[in-house]
């Protein structure tokens, strides 16, 4: 396990999700509605020692989604590792 493993996991599991979410927000704000669903795994809630790069990327994705939920406008809906509303 080296820094390249972390960079690869972050690129795939965090940056891709974050850039996609941020790319659609302006259009959603303009329409005053929308939904973003970020799907992660239990790896974003429970760390597995031998999967450190994977777990770190999943924790980052969950953290981004939870903060986005807390700070998003009321008209937008985001789900992060939650049961459907």
For residue 11, CA distances in Å to 23, 34, 70, 80 come to 16, 25, 24, 19
Catalytic residue flag (residue 19): no
Rounded Cα–Cα distance for residues 24 and 27 (Å):
6
| Candidate list 14, 54, 59, 64, residue with the active-site label | 54
Residues noted as catalytic: 54
């Amino acid at each position: 396990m080296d820094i390249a493993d972390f960079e690869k996991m972050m690129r795939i599991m965090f940056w891709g999700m974050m850039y996609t979410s941020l790319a659609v927000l302006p259009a959603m704000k303009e329409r005053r509605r929308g939904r973003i669903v970020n799907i992660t795994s239990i790896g974003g809630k429970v760390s597995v020692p031998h999967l450190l790069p994977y777990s770190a990327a999943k924790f980052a994705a969950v953290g981004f989604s939870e903060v986005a939920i807390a700070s998003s406008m009321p008209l937008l809906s985001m789900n992060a590792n939650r049961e459907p509303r």
